[in-house]
Amino acid sequence: MSALEYRVVTRLLREGSFMEALSNGLKAEHFKDGEAKQIFRFMHQHWFNPNTAKTLPTIGNIKRRWPSFEPTGENAEEDGQLPALINELKHRAFESDTLALANYFQELAQEDPEEAVKVVKASLADLAFRLEGNKHLNILGISETAKQHYEDAITGAIYGIPWPWDCLTEDTLGKSEGEFIMFYGRMKSMKTWVMLHCAVVDYLLHNRRVFIWSKEMSEDQRDDLKQEVQDLTKKYEDQCTDLAKAREQDVMEDA
């Protein structure tokens, strides 16, 4: 199935448009290959991100982020019609989920039949909704979905936490849940400062809880680190306060 998933992803990238995926109801849940699902989600975020709206990343960009990604052939005619490929992918995903649910029900029924019925009932309702939703997808539904995604993008609901630098946020779509991010550089190249800067901004501007742990620092170094975090936090709090006061003054003057 993964081969089909990569064919669909590649075709979308080559066409440079996400509209076929939207109009045919293709979602990340239809992808079973982990990497293909990540790539599809990245494409989805790129399409709805206000900074990159209605564009898809290049194949080169995808290969830099996922070096193992191998795009399929360039001949679209030999590859088949994209809507047909998408529908086949969705059908296989639905079949896979249905069989998985049947196997899970059999295992759970042996341990707790009542719980098995509750779980399967809820899961069947979800599968039925997916099946009926695919049959009744229309332009209005697509429009409403796109509008909701756009509003979510504005509020940061479906994208990662922004970096302090707009260019990095635009390229990566922020820091997403589950990512492991490393700062690499020579000694004394400000790696720690960059990390602290990001942590303080995440805490103050994005309401995130930040935990800093160091295995190699001595107690004195940890005290220095703690003081640096406090100083940075105070600096940004003062800046935010000054900005808020300036905006309030502007409003009063315009009133």
pLDDT tens column, 75-87: 655 567 889 999 8
Residue 135 above 60 pLDDT? no
Instruction: Share the mean pLDDT of the chain.
Output: 77
d(CA 132, CA 126): 10
CA distance 243 to 235: 12
In this predicted structure, the answer to whether residue 29 has a pLDDT above a threshold of 80 is yes
pTM of the model: 0.50
Identify the pLDDT of residue 2. 77
CATH topology of domain 2-153: DNAb Helicase; Chain A (1.10.860)
Is the predicted pLDDT of residue 152 greater than 60, yes or no?
no
Q: What pLDDT score does 252 carry? A: 47
Angle at 96 between CA 119 and CA 47, to 5 degrees: 100
Question: What percent of the chain is predicted at pLDDT more than 70?
Answer: 75
Whole-angstrom distance, CA of residue 214 vs CA of residue 193: 14
Cross-strand partners of 175: 161
The separation between CA 190 and the C-alpha centre of its own chain, rounded to angstroms, equals: 28
Please give the helix or strand (H or E) that residue 187 lies within, else none: none
Question: Looking at residues 224-253, what average pLDDT do you find?
Answer: 63
pLDDT of residue 136: 46
Better pLDDT: 146 or 40: 40
- Angstrom distances, CA of residue 226 to CA of 163, 198, 230: 22, 15, 6
For residue 33, pLDDT beyond 70? yes
For residue 8, what are the contacts with CB-CB under 8 A and spacing of at least 6? Answer: 26, 82, 85, 86, 89
Please, which pLDDT band fits residue 251 given cuts at 50, 70 and 90?
A: very low
User: Is pLDDT at 28 greater than 70 in this prediction?
Assistant: yes
Other beta carbons less than 10 A from residue 219's beta carbon: 7
| Res. 249: pLDDT tops 60 | no
What is the dihedral sign for C-alpha 185, 190, 191, 194?
A: negative
Q: Is the pLDDT of residue 108 over 50?
A: yes
Name, of 9-18, 95-104, 162-171, 194-203, the range with top average pLDDT.
9-18
Does 244 score more than 60 pLDDT? no
Provide the sign of the torsion angle of the four alpha carbons 165, 10, 176, 184, taken in this order.
negative
Residue 88: CB partners within 8 Å, gap ≥ 6? 4
In the block, which residue shows the tokens 């490929």?
85
